[in-house]
């Protein structure tokens, strides 16, 4: 593999890592917004069983969304780590600790 091929693969991995980082930031922002909404719903008073049921359903939906976002973030961070390790492997880096 020539220098230009190595450079191209490093650049494409670097671009992929940046895209994943951007997606993670967007998901973290969305997570924060959903968390704020969950907090607001939690603080809303209820006047009866019907309102309590509605509030519980809404909180349950928001909680499911929070769990899904957390899982997406974990998956993207795993992808990012893999991309970074690929970059290190392709660069032929050898740790001084091994």
User: What is the structure's pLDDT at 98?
Assistant: 61
Q: How far, in Å, CA of 83 to CA of 10, rounded?
A: 10
Nearest CA-CA partner of 31 in 41, 23, 20: 23
Buried b (16+ CB within 10 A) or exposed e, 69-81: beeebeebeebbe
User: What is the structure's pLDDT at 24?
Assistant: 94
| Residue 28, pLDDT above cutoff 80 | yes
Q: How far, in Å, CA of 79 to CA of 86, rounded?
A: 10
pTM of the model: 0.72
CB 72 within 8 A of CB 27: yes
Q: Regarding predicted confidence, which is higher, 3 or 18?
A: 18
User: What is the structure's pLDDT at 85?
Assistant: 73
Q: What integer is the mean pLDDT of 46-52?
A: 93
pLDDT band for position 18 (50/70/90)? confident
Q: First-to-last CA distance in the chain? A: 25
Winning range, highest mean pLDDT, from 6-10, 41-45, 80-84: 41-45
């Amino acid at each position: 593999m020539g220098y230009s091929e190595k450079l191209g693969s490093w650049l494409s991995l670097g671009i992929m890592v940046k895209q994943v980082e951007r997606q993670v930031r967007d998901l973290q922002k969305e997570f924060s917004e959903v968390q704020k909404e969950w907090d607001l719903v939690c603080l809303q008073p209820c006047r009866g069983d019907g309102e309590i049921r509605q509030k519980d359903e809404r909180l349950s939906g928001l909680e499911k969304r929070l769990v899904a976002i957390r899982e997406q973030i974990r998956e993207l961070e795993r992808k990012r780590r893999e991309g970074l390790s690929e970059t290190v492997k392709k660069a032929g880096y050898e740790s001084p600790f091994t």
